[in-house]
Amino acid sequence: MTDSERGGRLGEEFFTPGTSSFTEFLAAHRPGLLPTRRPFPDGVRAAPDAFPHGTTVLALAYRDGVMIAGDRRATMGNLIAQRDLEKVHPADDHTAVAFAGTVGLALDMVKLYQVELKHFEKIEGVPMTLNAKARRLAGMIRQNLGQAMQGLAVVPLLTGYDHTAPDGEQGRIFSFDVAGGLYEKTDFHAEGSGSPYARGALKKLFHKGMSRRDAALAALQALYDAADDDSATGGPDISRRIFPIVSVITEDGFERLPEPETEELTRVMVEQRRSRPDGPTATP
């Protein structure tokens, strides 16, 4: 019986003690609401250009915490499906998630993950540890394996500020594979079709103890390199004033860099490219 059939009254399952996981609650009582259910019969795969896909996202540790950024393009095969997609989202006050892959499923997964963390904190009275948040997201990705095998993969990138970590190591980065494999990355990482070029740029630009401005410029340079060699990654669109999304997580929490700051840094980076089209060299 649905809630409407009960005259708007909640069912008994809402008042019965159980799991602190909202995802497990849905799987038990409303499995049809989960974004991880298979959309096609077994053996059927999605056409590679039938659904918007998003790339590229990256993260790097810096002096005050961790930075996470992404380009704005979504593609459907050789078509640009969206120019201003937001791929970086806060998961809670001290955690952020970005995604590459099937856009519709990724956005639903991000929303479900946000509710998952909030539900746990309300039930348990304390927030999850960062390690637990990473494992919980890995479990959600594993539930999506059936859709990934049908061609609808979602590959998130998780970052967070860990108050329990030693000084200088509070900014942490986690990556995943489509089967839910969990991997903690040191210093920096990137996901998506442009990730090999973004990681190459970060490898030469990253150094310990970077300031917020230097880290943001490194992130923008890495996204520019990704767009330079990967047609699915969008570069800064100066004429439309569409710039990458850059966010930070520090002891004070999640903060998306204001658009004027991102625009100013982007214009500085583009101007640097006029004299050095291949980007800056490695820091000695």
Q: Is the dihedral of CA 137, 139, 144, 148 positive or negative?
A: positive
Amino acid at 229: D
Count of helix runs (H) and strand runs (E) in the chain: 7, 13
- 23, 36, 55, 262: the catalytic one is 55
**At residue 118, what are phi and psi to the nearest 5 degrees?**
-70, -40
Three-state DSSP at 9 gives coil
What is the rounded (10 degree) CA torsion for 146, 149, 153, 158? 70
Query: What's the number of CA atoms in the CB half-sphere (13 Å) around residue 272?
Result: 15
Residue 29: both structure tokens together:
């009582």
CB 87 within 8 A of CB 98: yes
Cβ burial, residue 76 (10 Å; 0-12/13-18/19+): middle
19 is catalytic: no
**Distance (Å, whole) CA 167 – CA 197:** 30
Task: Report the DSSP pairing between strands 65-70 and 245-250.
Answer: antiparallel
**What are phi and psi for residue 275, nearest 5 degrees?**
-90, -20
Backbone angles phi, psi at 242, to 5 degrees: -110, 115
CB 209 within 8 A of CB 60: no
Catalytic residues: 55
